[in-house]
């Protein structure tokens, strides 16, 4: 049987990662946590008990106002972005613009980079992984915020290649 505190911890874990679905079976009890979009649905099943938990949309109001504004900004220059190179995340992790909180950022908008220029650090499993630009050009847009969790393949920077 799963304890309520364990279920809450699993919900937090799924919510804070890119994991979309988690199923665990332990001593005859089974729990399935699925994250369709931004809403978690948790099904807990044991032999005699079935319970569905749908949390209140605590994160949705905070995320909803922020999401449309960048989406609108990104859709306007979409035609102009076809010539831009996207630097994408090679892994799931936390995006950091600087090597430490008190250090200067690696790059800013307008900075010129080459293929070996470190543009950010991605933290995954307590390991700091530097990410290089892989292209020579000018940083024209930074698409994520410092400290934000990023997904595999998610665009992080737009670079105007030279």
C-beta of residue 35 within 8 angstroms of C-beta of residue 20: yes
Query: Quick one: 23 exposed, middle or buried, by C-beta within 10 A (0-12, 13-18, 19+)?
Result: exposed
- CB under 8 A, 24+ apart: contacts of 2-5: 2/26, 2/29, 2/31, 2/44
28 phi, psi to nearest 5 deg: 85, -10
Residue 86 is predicted with a pLDDT of: 94
Mean pLDDT by 10 residues, the chain (162 residues): 75 76 76 63 46 45 44 45 90 94 94 95 92 94 95 94 90
pLDDT of residue 128: 92
Q: What is the DSSP code (8-state) at residue 18?
A: S
Supply the pTM of this predicted model: 0.52
Domain boundaries, the chain: 4-60, 82-161
- Report the top-level CATH class of 82-161: mainly beta
């Amino acid at each position: 049987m799963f304890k309520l505190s364990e279920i809450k911890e699993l919900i937090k874990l799924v919510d804070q990662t890119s994991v979309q679905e988690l199923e665990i079976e332990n001593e005859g009890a089974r729990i399935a946590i699925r994250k369709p979009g931004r809403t978690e649905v948790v099904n807990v099943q044991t032999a005699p008990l079935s319970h569905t938990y749908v949390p209140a949309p605590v994160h949705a109001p905070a995320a909803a106002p922020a999401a449309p504004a960048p989406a609108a900004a990104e859709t306007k220059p979409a035609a102009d972005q076809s010539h831009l190179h996207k630097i994408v995340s090679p892994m799931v992790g936390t995006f950091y613009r600087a090597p430490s909180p008190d250090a200067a950022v690696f790059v800013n908008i307008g900075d010129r980079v080459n293929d070996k220029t470190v543009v950010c650090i991605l933290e995954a499993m307590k390991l700091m992984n530097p990410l290089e630009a892989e292209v020579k050009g000018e940083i024209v847009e930074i698409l994520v915020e410092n400290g934000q969790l990023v997904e595999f393949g998610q665009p992080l920077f737009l670079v105007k290649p030279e």
